[in-house]
Amino acid sequence: MIHFVLLISRQGKVRLTKWYSPYTQKERTKVLRELSGVILTRGPKLCNFVEWRGYKVVYKRYASLYFCMCIDHEDNELEILEIIHHYVEILDRYFGSVCELDLIFNFHKAYYILDELLIAGELQESSKKTVARLIAAQDSLVEAAKEQRSSISNIIAQATK
Amino acid sequence: MNPFSSETRLRDMIRAIRACKTAAEERAVVRKECAAIRASINENDPDYRHRNIAKLMFIHMLGYPTHFGQMECLKLIASAEFPEKRIGYLGLMLLLDERQEVLMLVTNSLKQDLNHANQYIVGLALCALGNICSAEMARDLAPEVERLLQFRDPNTRKKAALCAIRIIKKVPDLAENFINPAAALLKEKHHGVLITGVQLCTDLCKVSPEALEHFRKKCTEGLVRTLKDVVNSPYAPEYDIAGITDPFLHIRLVRLLRVLGQGNADASDLMNDILAQVATKTESNKNAGNAILYECVETIMSIEDNGGLRVLAINILGRFLSNRDNNIRYVALNMLMKAITVDTQAVQRHRATILECVKDSDASIRKRALELVYLLVNESNVKPLTKELIEYLEVSDQEFKGDLTAKICSIIAKFSPEKIWYIDQMLKVLSEAGNFVKDEAWHALIVVISNASDLHGYSVRALYRAFQTSAEQETLVRVAVWCIGEYGDMLINNVALLDIENPITVTGSDAVDVVEVSIKRHTSDLTTKSMSLIALLKLSSRFPSCSERIRDIIIQNRGSLVLELQQRSIEFNSVIEKHQNIRSALVERMPVLDEATFIGRRAGSSPAIVPTSNSASLNLPNGVAKPPAAPLVDLLDLSSDDVPAPSSSGGGFLQDLLGGVDLLPGLNQTAISGTNEAPRTGTDILLDLLSIETSPTQSSSSITDILSSSQGDKSPVASLGEISSPPSLSTRATSAGADPMMDLLGGFSPNPPMPDNGPVYPSIVAFESSSLRITFDFSKAPGNPQKTTILATFTNMSQSIYTDFIFQAAVPKFLQLHLDPASSNTLPASGNGSITQNLRVTNSQHGKKSLVMRMRIAYKFNNEDILEEGQINNFPRGL
């Protein structure tokens, strides 16, 4: 199972963290510090796996962002690379050639998408189209609620004028 | 409107934070925002709740505390609207974890949302439950999840399936409720549901044997068919990755088949064909294909034997291993580790390639390869493999040397065909990476050298040569110094020259050079320096011509700030200067170190007694000869200087190693009595020490008398008895000195006593003053090592009778003490009879901690109340 997902920028800034196993706040900070130290310093040609505290961390760099997932020792590292790529493709499709700034300002969207992809540290959907559809449906629910709210507030505003 | 309320939008806050140039600026912005959010929370304005939590999540990601927002998440979740719930659940998963009690408050909202009419709200609740639920929540909400596994919408079913995984991991008892619904999921067509269903079944098998049995019987064939369909499915753009339809589903199916096939021949038979098809048909030019192959190979290796499939799998691994992609090579090494238990020969064929991987530039690959090589070594290939590894040691990265050295040492120790090869290889390792060699490894080397009597000369000469080139390797220096100290004469006379070596010309002075260099080098640590001092003392007798020079070197340490070195230097100087006649006997070669004992020590756990300080015995009242045993151990135990307790094997061994000093217990004892005397008499320790011969007073036990008494009848020392002071003293010292010696030397006896009914422990003198003496005798019931029965014997040495004699004792928490009634409360004078009392001690930390005891003795002496107190920490080890 995936124990946590991290997105770290090349400068070591944290862009997304998702924990599927319980870690205290203190441990989380420590994990982040340790792993960014290990991963960011690795050369470009080396393999994408780092052994760490009896776990394996699979990471892949996309532009300025490192996507990292921590898995158990007996899990399939190559598949995790595919899952990372899968996630990146969905992000790309959603934002339209995604960049780090998109993920900073719309970090909650990145989380929503991740939640449609993984639950309990396991993959839930292999179709990019399905994920996109589910996210779009939920986004439109939010939009609809917003419109309704503004129209109500308009009515109230007009009524109280 | 409150001026502090969070007017800024999320986007503006992120901009403001990003615009910060320094960490301090960032903190200021965050502080301001947090203050505004708190104020807004206090106002309880539902319109801004949504935005506040979004901001808090961002702040949380930056690493600032955000606990004050937790309740707001619960309020958002409780609201009726989807947008509020969406951000509320996200906040819940981000800001809380399963250990927070606040989480329990959300159980009810979750339950409602799991029953909500809107499938997206149900989805949010399932997602949150799957990601952070605790065991209690799992129990409370399992029925809802079970129901949702049959929900009409597939997207809800798949989420419920993953939720169920979390639930059965938290509460394995619930597994049986999920077996049937999970099996139903395996028949689905929807890929998401199928993937999660297969995953749920895999995890069910892990926690429940019944589930495994059920799926094996009912579902194996169905799964094989599903896998066949997926493998042969036509191009499906929605699921296609690199020309393969849904590799994720492939991988999960193959993995579940592995679980079902493991240990079951029938199930394994069913899947043979499809596995063969996956192994041969899958394209291996893209990562997705390789991921499937990797999973497939692992399954083939795990299920019941099928020769043809295994060959296929090993071939795939061979292809992986020669791949240029580091990722693929990494997983190949990983797989070969598992394959080695199945087919060692096949893995051996790739030995050369694997060995190359040990030298890879990638640390992850190196580490894997080294582990693998370690498994590959056997008697027949140990020599070439070790040669390769040692050669690589020269050029490897500093951070890799530690691992590599440990593995090489372990290989050498495990498979060495002959002693000379072992010594040669260890010397190479020591010269190359001596600073990385663990204590156990060089201790073992010394034991081996000590046991190889025909190789003493060879070893010491080889070490001498190695020292000339690699003097910066600490452990090499230690072994060299030890050997030169022991076998220095063989070094200079080319004794026992083997055919393969060239004779070397070394003078006694050259040998002393080596030791001098090592003791003077500022990087040498205490252990090395102490070993050097002992070696010097030994050499002073081996090379009488260098005696003066050696004494000069020893004297230089007289002012050392380290007590250990200072004390030794003074003692040894005194031996060289004033005790020419006993010196050669004192510094005789050490007896052969017993390999069995050493190995036993390594395996067992008989930690060295490390008394907290010598001063412990100082508070004994008016004692003349304090129990010296504990400090003696302390003295020999170099590593205990400021390190708390050495590792059990290390510490114990070190004492053996420096056993040369054991032959000088008298010296140590004089030093101790000197130390103990100091506070009372006020005389300088040094003076006291140096005046041993001139003032054989009651207070300072003379060196010779202890020697004569403790080694009593042994010929080399016997002559010394003549110098001894009054015999009463020596008898007293006998009991005090002999026991710890026996303890320390016990390990050296060629046939260590191995009685069946548990080890025999030497008696100790627990307390002694001019008027009272207490001895302890130990016995243990066989089969119950924690319990010790102590027979305490009290003897009155004074001229008057003691009445109302009471002995009390106290022990630390890890011990339990039971005192039996004493045989009497009257103690006759002048040693005419004694009181005995049984003490039963249970050591709950047996093997880790030694006994220690405080005691108090009260008695009446000429109608005067006397109270004596003391601490006993000279118990033998291993009680």
pLDDT tens digits for range B165-203: 999 999 999 888 899 989 888 888 889 999 999 999 999
Q: How far is the C-alpha of B669 from the C-alpha of B667, rounded, in Å?
A: 5
B870 and chain A in contact, CB less than 8 A: no
- Verify whether the Cβ–Cβ distance B166 to A138 is below 8 Å: no
The H-or-E segment that residue B54 falls in is helix B46-61
CA of A142, closest CA in chain B: separation in Å? 5
Mean pLDDT of chain B: 76
First to last CA, chain A: 58
Q: Do the chains contact at B196 and A50, CB–CB below 8 Å?
A: no
Question: Shortest CB distance from A126 goes to which of B249, B294, B367?
Answer: B249
How does residue B601 score in pLDDT terms, banded at 50, 70 and 90? low
Q: Which of A50, A125, A139, A153 should we substitute to test contact with B (largest number of B Cβ atoms within 10 Å)?
A: A125
Class of CATH domain B403-602 = mainly alpha
Task: State both tokens at B638.
Answer: 């170099």
Which residues make Cβ contacts (< 8 Å) with residue B796, sequence separation at least 6? B771, B772, B802, B827, B828, B829, B830, B831, B834
Amino acid in the structure at residue A42: R
Residue B399 has what pLDDT?
79
- Return residues 90-109 of B near A (CB < 8 Å): 90, 93-94, 97-99
Kindly report the nearest CA distance between residue A149 and chain B, in angstroms. Answer: 11
Per CB-CB distance under 8 Å, the chain B contacts of A108 are 54, 57, 87, 90
pLDDT per residue as tens digits for the range B839-853:
888 888 777 777 888
Each domain of chain B, given as residue ranges in start order, spans: 403-602, 761-872
Taking an 8 Å cut-off on Cβ atoms, the answer to whether B290 and A78 are in contact is yes
CA B444 from centroid of its chain's CA atoms: 18
pLDDT at B751: 44
Residue B659's CB is within 10 A of a number of other CB atoms, namely: 18
- Contact residues, B window 283-322, toward A, CB-based 8 Å cutoff: 287-288, 290-291, 294-295
Query: Which residue(s) pair with B775 in the sheet?
Result: B765, B793
Neighbours of B755 (CB within 10 A): 8
* A126 to B97: CB separation less than 8 angstroms, yes or no: no
The beta-carbon neighbor of A134 closest among B155, B162, B327 is: B155
pLDDT tens sequence across B309-322: 888 888 888 888 88
Q: Do A115 and B326 touch (CB under 8 A)?
A: no
Residues of chain A in contact with residue B328, where contact means CB-CB under 8 angstroms, are 78
Q: Name the minimum distance, in Å, from the CA of B605 to any CA of chain A.
A: 26
Tens-place pLDDT, residues B465-488: 888 888 888 888 888 888 888 888
Q: Identify which of A49, A120, A126 has the shortest CB distance to residue B364.
A: A49
Contacts of B83 in chain A (CB under 8 A): 141-142, 145-146
Query: In chain A, which residue's Cα lies nearest the Cα of B12?
Result: A105
pLDDT < 50 positions in chain A = none
Question: Considering CB atoms only, which of A17, A81, A123 is closest to B287?
Answer: A81
The pLDDT of residue A57: 94
Question: Do A46 and B326 make contact, defined as CB atoms within 8 angstroms?
Answer: yes
Closest residue by Cα to residue B166 from B195, B198, B126: B126
Would you place residue B503 in the very low, low, confident or very high pLDDT band (cuts 50, 70, 90)? confident
B159 touches chain A (CB under 8 A): yes
List Cβ neighbours of B218 (8 Å cut-off, separation of 6 or more). Answer: B183
Nearest Cα residue in chain A from B126? A119
**B365–A47 CB contact, under 8 Å:** yes
Quote the pLDDT of residue B7.
63
Measured between CB atoms, which of A79, A86, A142 is closest to B82? A142
The domains found in chain A, sorted by start residue, are: 2-126 (3.30.450.60)
Sign of CA dihedral B863, B865, B868, B869: positive
Judge whether B20 is closer than 8 Å to chain A, CB to CB.
no
Give the amino acid at B201: C
By DSSP bridging, strand B240-241 and strand B244-245 are: antiparallel
Query: How close A77 comes to chain B (CA, Å)?
Result: 8
Q: Show the tokens assigned to A46.
A: 């080396």
Q: Residue B558: is its pLDDT beyond 90?
A: no
At B682-703, the pLDDT tens digits run 334 433 333 334 333 344 344 3
Q: Which tens digits make up the pLDDT trace of A72-89?
A: 988 999 999 999 999 999
The model's pLDDT over B785-799, given as tens digits with 9 standing for 90+, comes to: 788 888 888 888 888
Contact yes or no for B365 and A134 at CB 8 A: no
Q: B597 pLDDT exceeds 80?
A: no
B interface test, pick of A42, A100, A123, A131 with most B CB neighbours within 10 Å:
A123
Residue B462: its pLDDT value, please?
85
Please answer yes or no on whether B90 and A104 come within 8 Å at the CB atom.
no
Asked if B14 and A104 come within 8 Å (Cβ–Cβ), the reply is: yes
Asked whether this complex has an ipTM greater than 0.90, the answer is yes
pTM for the predicted model, two decimal places:
0.64
The Cα A118–Cα A21 span in angstroms is 13
Residue B569 has pLDDT above 60, yes or no: yes
Nearest beta carbon to residue B163 from set A112, A115, A119: A119
Cβ–Cβ contact B272 with A under 8 A = no
Q: Which two tokens stand for residue B810?
A: 């106290």
* Mean pLDDT in residue range B447-454: 83
Check if B204 contacts A (Cβ < 8 Å).
Answer: no
Using CA atoms, how far apart are residues B149 and B147, in angstroms rounded to an integer? 5
* Mean of pLDDT values over B441-460: 84
Cα separation of B776 and B778, whole Å?
6
Per-residue confidence (pLDDT) for residue B866, from 0 to 100: 82
Quote the pLDDT of residue B98: 66
In this predicted structure, the answer to whether residue B442 has a pLDDT above a threshold of 90 is no
> What's the pLDDT tens digit per position in B106-154?
888 899 999 988 899 999 999 999 998 888 889 999 999 999 988 888 9
Which pLDDT value is given to residue B759? 60
Which residues in chain B are contacts of A123 at CB distance < 8 A?
195-196, 199, 248
Evaluate whether B709 touches B737 at the Cβ level (below 8 Å).
yes
Interface mutation target, options B64, B166, B185, B301, chain A, most CBs of A under 10 Å: B166
Task: Flag if B327 and A48 touch (Cβ within 8 Å).
Answer: yes
- For B362, the closest chain A residue by CA position comes to A46
Identify which has the larger pLDDT, B720 or B818.
Answer: B818
Q: How confident is the model at residue B600 (pLDDT cuts 50, 70, 90)?
A: low
Question: What is the DSSP annotation of B107-172?
Answer: HHHHHHHHT-SSHHHHHHHHHHHHHH--HHHHHHHHHHHHHHTT-SSHHHHHHHHHHHHHHHHH-G
Q: What is the pLDDT of residue B708?
A: 39
Give the DSSP H/E element, type plus range, for residue B796: strand B787-796
Q: What is the pLDDT of residues B254-264, one digit of tens each?
A: 999 999 988 88
Instruction: Answer yes or no: do A76 and B363 touch at CB < 8 A.
Output: no
In a mutational test of the B interface, the residue from A82, A87, A105, A146 whose CB has the highest number of chain B CBs within 10 Å is A82
d(CA B144, CA B125): 11
Q: Per mean pLDDT, which range of B539-548, B620-629, B760-769 is the poorest?
A: B620-629
Top CATH class of B761-872 equals mainly beta
* Beta-carbon contacts below 8 Å between A and B: 160
Q: Which of B11, B163, B247 sits opposite A82 (nearest CB)?
A: B247
Q: What is the pLDDT of residues B315-348, one digit of tens each?
A: 888 888 888 888 888 888 888 888 887 778 878 8
**Contact B750/B594 with Cβ under 8 angstroms?**
yes
- Candidates B62, B83, B94; nearest CB to A142: B83
**Euclidean distance between CA atoms A10 and B735, whole angstroms:** 71
Of B57, B127, B291, the CB nearest to A76: B291
Q: What is the pLDDT of residue B599?
A: 63
Q: Does B2 have pLDDT greater than 60?
A: no
